[in-house]
Structure 1
Amino acid sequence: MHVLEIEWRHFDQEGNTCIRCSETGAALQKAVTELAEECQPKGWELRFQETKLPAQRMEESNLILINGKPLEQLLPHATLRQSHCQSCCEMLGSEATQCRAIELDGRLYEGIPWQLIRQAVCAAAQCC
């Protein structure tokens, strides 16, 4: 059995996270659940780990690692971006908080949709 490790790092403040990380978290739950069922018969076990980050590690927030590689490295033509996150600004009482986002095919994804997560997992594991 092959193991595919999926880690999600996101800012957490007293059990709360920003809007974009909430969207990514929901998409990850859907993707991990569906892909675990789809990939298991092909010899893959998916393991999910959530890492909650303090404000000092904000630059890592909304990072998805698949077997240690950032999701954007598994998607052809995807680029890591930083963009203003109003939700984090409100949580931190700051004016200029930047969070991770992914640009792909001319579109900026602040919350990472399950379709991109699926595409990256399929590229890494060749199980779907």
Structure 2
Amino acid sequence: MKNELVIEWRHVARDAENVFETCKETGMPLDAVLDEIRMLLEMEGVSVRIVETVGEPETLLFNGAPIEELLEGVEVTATACASCASCGESCGDDCEDEECRTLRYNGEAYEAIPPELIGRAAAKALEID
């Protein structure tokens, strides 16, 4: 097992205070999942750190690896930003040519990354079985 977990949350935003709705939906479960596992990991000697990168398409990297590379069966697709209800409302015409990342897993499409996948990817990045 590795002794450090670095999660980089990349997301689109006008600035750090104005995160788009879909990206906020990932950030909230990310905080909740980390609150749940941080104490357990620290008891095992694993430090947990989050890095937030604004201005990138939304994704999560776990010790440098994207979630779709860590978890079998997770695929990345893209939808036009204007067709994404939460992004369309947030950024309007500012993102006409932009695409939003969507994860597909077990036949479901997710604009925001579900907490279950966040926890599983963290465990995989730490090489926890």
Q: Is the structural similarity TM-score above 0.5? A: yes
Describe how 1:10-29 pairs up with structure 2 within 5 A. Answer: 10-14=11-15, 15-29=17-31
> Does the C-alpha gap of structure 1 residues 10 and 63 become closer, same or farther in structure 2, counting only changes over 3 Å?
same
In structure 2, distance between residues paired with 1:25 and 1:6: 11
Q: Is the contact made by 1:3 and 1:45 (CA closer than 8 Å) also made in structure 2? A: yes
- Give the residue type in structure 2 aligned to 1:125: L
1:92 offset after TM fit, Å?
A: 4.1
1:127 offset after TM fit, Å?
A: 4.7
Name the SS of the counterpart of 2:100 in structure 1: strand
- How well do the aligned residues superpose, as a CA RMSD in angstroms? 1.9
Percent of pairs with identical residues: 34
Matching of residue 87 in structure 1 with residue 83 in structure 2: no
In structure 1, distance between residues paired with 2:12 and 2:34: 20
- Give the residue type in structure 2 aligned to 1:86: A
Deviating more after overlay: 23-32 vs 82-91: 82-91
Who is 1:57 aligned against? none
- What's the CA shift string for 1:31-81, capped at 9, x where partnerless? 12212112112221111111111xxxxxx4221000000011111111111
- Give the residue type in structure 2 aligned to 1:22: K
- What's the CA shift string for 1:1-46, capped at 9, x where partnerless? 8111100011111421222111001011111221211211222111
- Give the residue type in structure 2 aligned to 1:49: V
Name the SS of the counterpart of 2:10 in structure 1: strand
Q: Is the contact made by 1:44 and 1:127 (CA closer than 8 Å) also made in structure 2? A: no
Describe how 1:34-53 pairs up with structure 2 within 5 A. Answer: 34-53=36-55
User: Number of residue pairs matched?
Assistant: 122
Name the SS of the counterpart of 1:7 in structure 2: strand
Q: Is the contact made by 1:39 and 1:127 (CA closer than 8 Å) also made in structure 2? A: no
Q: Is the contact made by 1:5 and 1:67 (CA closer than 8 Å) also made in structure 2? A: yes
Q: Is the contact made by 1:88 and 1:97 (CA closer than 8 Å) also made in structure 2? A: no
For structure 1, list consecutive stretches of 5 or more residues without a partner in the other structure: 54-59
1:126 offset after TM fit, Å?
A: 3.9
For normalisation by structure 1, the TM-score amounts to 0.84
Q: Which runs of 4+ in 1 moved over 3 A?
A: 94-97
